[in-house]
Copies of this chain bind each other. A is one copy, B any other.
Amino acid sequence: MLDKAKTLTHGAYDAAAASALKILVIHTRWNVEIVSALRDGVLATLTNQYAIPRSNIDVVEVPGAFELPFATKALLKQGKYDAVIPIGVLIKGATVHFEYISESATHALMNVGLESGTPVIFGILTCLTEEQALQRAGIGSGAEKGHNHGIDWAAAAVEMALLNQGKARKH
C-alpha cells in the first residue's frame, strides 16, 4: 500500500516557512510500542527532514482514540499550532468497539480540522491484526518490517500547514 518515495517528494516548498511551523502531536497510550514508533517517526521527520526545532513541537498524551478529537480541539484553542498530528492505533477485537471508535474518531478528527481551520492529519491506524499495525509503524517482523507511517503524517502536516498559509503551488 505505502509508496515510500511518494509523500516525501511533494515537490518544491518554502523550506524557511516549513521550519518555522509549530506542530502539535497528540498520541494515545494503547499499544504503546507501536504508538511510540509512530510518534518517533513523526518527530524525526519534522526535525530532520523539515528542520523544525524540537521546541516548536509539543507532544501530549491522551488515553485512547476516542479522546483524540476532544484533545485536538481543546488544545487548538490556544491558537498556537499550525497543524495537529493525532496518533492512535486501533486493532480489531472480539467486540465491535473497534468499529464504533474508529468511525466516530475519524469523522470527528475530520470535523475538528474543518471547523478549526487548522489542518488535522489522520494519524490513526485501523488494523485487523497487531501485525498489520506493527508493519505500518515500521517495526513488523523480519522482511515485513514495513514503512513507518509517521513519516508520511509529518510530511502531510507540513504540506497542509503551508497550503493553509496560502503557500500551495498552483499549476
Contacts and interface: CB of A to CB of B under 8 A. Distances in A.
- The interface size bin for chain A is 35 or more
How many copies of the chain does the oligomer comprise? Answer: 5
A54 to B, nearest CB: 10
Interface of A: 1, 3, 6-7, 10-11, 29-30, 32, 58-64, 66-67, 69-71, 73-75, 92-97, 100-108, 110-114, 117, 119-122, 125-128, 132, 136, 152, 155-156, 159-160, 163-164, 168-171
Contacts of A10: 29, 61, 63
B61 A32 contact: no
Contact of A114 (B112, B125, B152): B112
Contacts of A92: 96
